[in-house]
Structure 1
């Protein structure tokens, strides 16, 4: 098992290599406002600014049913860190929309399609995520570099071998801010209809709706990260 220091160095090396061979204008972080993607945003921001190639660029999915605390945190941090932020929103009207009734349809229309549109509109060739293998069984076999189509781009997953504890230890080491919902007991933040406080004896994503968790592999195949 690698130490946190080794994991940090590995993630930095992966992103440093990317920064050295790709125009940062073609790279964006899939920043949810959560603890994991904030780590990725911080590392990439540090590398980009060190190279004098800022600002750091990101895509945020605003489904229309996110926690207001997450959105407020996103806006505060985007301003404080000078993030070139593209907010992707669904094309469907939410008034009367059957939220979470069919998790696959709901996530496809509110997340997958807006994400694809944002990747196309921003000319993003490399999308950095904060996903981790230990979060969900369907993420165990994920790779650090994944080629995607419709539109063509590469998904880069620099935190795959990190743990939840690693993420929080990194936050503490570098004094990274986080959404206050974590202080209230939340461990994984999604849309409001599909997110509750986790079970006391449950895992990190035990507060996520079971229906959505069951179709995560299908959503990945459709284009979600």
Structure 2
């Protein structure tokens, strides 16, 4: 396998397997089901699941239903979960508490890169199905500047879901001990492909013949929620062209949001009096990159 990563400890897949095997005893101690693989069945979480099976460690799968994932990805995820169940693994599909449309109405603003309340509510919230399990995720540092600074192979959320996220490299003995001995009720996470590049993910998938969702072969580079503010304008335009009903759903939510702001006497952005105006403003890359977080928060509720 020829990977592009700068890791020098060994092949990144071997290192990921070693990481998972090293902490399996702790994973089982915290939850007899083993690791909880938080998966959308996109390319990164698919690789994490394969590494789990290859490592032979105990684990189960958890999928958060967002209501705004691509339909093809949903069908792919359901098929994969049936295969995992046939192989003896537990799987959980967890429904959201509040839909994206309800969240937009409650917040008074659409989700932005600087204010991704949708992630916290739809994908990153604690759910009873995860118990106290060590969470395994397909987070990669190369995906964004923020993740490069704030994510690593071992992580601790020190004081509950909203507490400080402590990151620690896998190859530091002191950090390993901290990871093992940290607060009893802190959430632990392992990100076995944290240092992989996108090229690594695709090379590994090809080498082990790991099937990935068909949408990647149709020009989609990432398969997050439809309309995700982290995606570029080009990517979101591709999404809304492919799934126009979601564009209509966002417009309806924006219209309800505008009506609620008007009823509460809150200002509208200049020249953004209609749902179409807000939508056009919202999908612009410049809007996502330069919108003032304090201003957005102030004008929400």
- Please give the range of the TM-score, normalised by the shorter of the 2 chains: 0.7 to 0.9
Change in 2 beyond 3 A, CA 1:137/1:130? same
2:52 aligned counterpart, secondary structure: helix
Is residue 145 from structure 1 mapped to residue 154 from structure 2 by the alignment?
yes
Partner of 1:27: 35
Which residue matches 1:202? Answer: none
Deviations 1:47-99 (A, max 9, x none): 23xx6x5xx40111211111111111111111123242212222124566638
1:17 — aligned with what? Answer: 22
- Tell me whether 1:102 sits opposite 2:117 in the alignment: no
Say whether the 8 Å CA contact 2:27–2:133 is kept in structure 1. no
RMSD, matched Cα: 3.0
| Matches of 1:209 and 1:9, distance apart in 2 | 41
Q: Distance in 2 between matches of 1:94 and 1:134?
A: 27
Q: Could you tell me how far 1:4 is from its partner in structure 2?
A: 10
Structure 2's unaligned 5+ residue stretches are 1-5, 162-185, 237-282, 292-301
Tell whether the 8 Å contact from 2:37 to 2:62 is kept in structure 1 after alignment. Answer: yes
- Distance in 2 between residues matched to 1:78 and 1:134, nearest whole Å: 28
- Distance in 2 between residues matched to 1:66 and 1:32, nearest whole Å: 9
Hey, what's the Cα distance between the residues in 1 that align with 2:209 and 2:156? Answer: 33
Consecutive unaligned residues in structure 1, runs of 5 or more: 200-207, 216-225
1:3: Cα distance to partner? 7.0
Deviation of the 1:193 alpha carbon: 2.1
- How many positions carry a matched residue from both structures? 198
Q: Map 1:48-87 onto structure 2 (within 5 A).
A: 48=56, 53=58, 56-82=59-85, 83-87=89-93
Give the alignment partner of residue 122 of structure 1, picking from 130, 155, 166. 130
Match of 1:171 in 2: 205
1:57 is paired with a residue whose SS is strand
Q: 1:96 to 1:12 in 2, by over 3 A?
A: closer
- Larger-gyration structure (1/2): 2
